[in-house]
């Protein structure tokens, strides 16, 4: 039996048509059908009822499905465990980080860590929060670095993905200054003159936080641009296209140079945390050492 046969079986059980399942598996439909037939021949019974409406599981197929799912999970777990043992000597750390933190917070944070303790090589994956969550859930990285707010929780169970606070940040509404150095727009705006709003997309963790906090319900805004990149929104705000809630860790230099100014009082600020989530299913010696170091620091900070 080939591993691809199991993947094909699970894809067809989910998609329920050979054409859609073949597309998800990136093979031609004839080749996909041959592999399903080969699996049925190997098992010795039909797993699907073929019909005009698609393919449905036979009783034998329904019985086999949870076993196939468990087998795939066991194989993936064995692959990760074996990979961890094989890379234990090199002790490379894999960290996924959102774009907003990978360019500003991450380099300074790592430099401080390296001054305290050596952790070997680092592999940084930078992407949107949505993509980072998918990478973390697949078990391909040891850690995820992201902004966090208790009202906009990530897709992680605490039992599988514990986390530790490693910093703080604030989302601040900012915009370009007018010729007099004052904010070009000011919150909360009015119904007659809504403020142009530079919004985060659904893939952005910062966008989730803003939506969950519901601080904009008392403002009058109209969306002028949507992006999952805080850097893009900051550039658009600097160029006078509207206001954006930006992390201070990113916008501090522009604020100091007055390229950006506050677009509203502190009541519109949103305090947030910078957290490191850990995968208990993707481990090596370096990941264990870093986690022990950070949790020790966190306990000491709480005591003091």
Residue 79: predicted pLDDT: 80
CB of 156 within 8 A of CB of 279?
Answer: no
Residues paired with 50 in a beta bridge: 55
Which positions ≥6 away from 179 have C-beta within 8 Å?
A: none
Query: What is the tens place of the pLDDT at every residue in 163-214?
Result: 999 999 999 999 999 999 999 999 988 888 899 999 999 889 999 999 888 6
CA 154 to chain centre: 8
pLDDT in tens, the chain (304 residues): 688 999 999 999 999 999 999 998 899 999 999 999 999 999 999 999 998 888 999 999 999 999 999 998 888 888 877 766 665 545 688 999 999 999 889 999 988 887 776 666 788 999 999 999 989 988 889 999 999 999 887 778 888 899 999 999 999 999 999 999 999 999 988 888 899 999 999 889 999 999 888 655 578 899 999 998 999 999 999 999 999 999 998 999 999 999 999 998 999 999 999 999 999 888 888 888 889 988 888 887 776 5
Residue 90: predicted pLDDT: 53
Which positions ≥6 away from 90 have C-beta within 8 Å?
A: 120, 121
Residue 89: predicted pLDDT: 47
Residue 225 has φ and ψ, to the nearest 5°, of: -160, 145
CA 55 to chain centre: 34
Residue 215: predicted pLDDT: 56
Residue 174: predicted pLDDT: 96
Q: How is 111-168 classified by DSSP, letter by letter?
A: HHHHHH-----EEEEEE-HHHHHHHHHTT--SEEEEEE-TTS--S--TTTS-EEEEEE
Q: How is 179-220 classified by DSSP, letter by letter?
A: TTSSBSS-TT--SSSPEEEEEEPTT-HHHHHHHHHTGGGGS-
Side-chain half-sphere CA neighbours of 76 within 13 A: 14
Residue 105: Cβ within 10 Å count: 21
> How far apart are the C-alpha atoms of 212 and 287, rounded to whole Å?
32
**What is the overall mean pLDDT for the chain?**
88
Domains and CATH numbers, the chain: 3-86 (1.10.10.10), 93-168+274-303 (3.40.190.10), 169-272 (3.40.190.10)
Compute and round to an integer the Cα radius of gyration of the chain. 25
């Amino acid at each position: 039996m080939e591993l691809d046969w199991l993947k094909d079986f699970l894809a067809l059980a989910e998609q329920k048509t050979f054409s859609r399942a073949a597309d998800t598996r990136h093979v031609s439909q004839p080749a996909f059908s041959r592999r399903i037939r080969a699996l049925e021949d190997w098992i010795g019974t039909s797993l699907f009822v073929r019909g005009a409406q698609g393919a449905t599981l036979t009783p034998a197929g329904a019985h086999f499905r949870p076993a196939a799912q468990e087998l795939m999970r066991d194989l993936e777990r064995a692959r990760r465990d074996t990979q961890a043992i094989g890379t234990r000597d090199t002790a490379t750390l894999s960290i996924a980080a959102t774009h907003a933190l990978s360019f500003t917070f991450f380099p300074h944070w790592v430099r401080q860590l390296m001054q305290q303790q050596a952790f070997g090589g680092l592999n940084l994956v930078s992407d949107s929060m949505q993509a980072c969550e998918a990478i973390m859930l697949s078990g391909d990285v040891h850690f995820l670095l992201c902004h966090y707010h208790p009202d906009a929780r990530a897709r992680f169970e605490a039992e599988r993905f514990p986390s530790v606070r490693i910093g703080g940040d604030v989302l601040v509404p900012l915009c370009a200054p007018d010729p007099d150095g004052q904010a070009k727009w000011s919150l909360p705006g009015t119904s007659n003159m809504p403020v142009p709003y530079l919004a985060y997309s659904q893939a952005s963790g910062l966008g989730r936080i803003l939506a969950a906090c519901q601080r904009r319900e008392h403002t009058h805004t109209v969306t002028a641009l949507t992006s999952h990149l805080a850097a893009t929104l900051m550039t658009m705000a600097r160029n006078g296209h509207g206001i954006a809630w930006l992390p201070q860790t990113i916008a501090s230099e522009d604020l100091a140079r007055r390229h950006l100014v506050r677009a509203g009082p502190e009541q519109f600020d949103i305090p947030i945390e910078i957290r490191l989530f850990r995968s208990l299913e993707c481990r090596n010696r370096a990941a264990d050492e870093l986690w022990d170091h950070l949790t020790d620091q966190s306990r000491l900070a709480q005591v003091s």
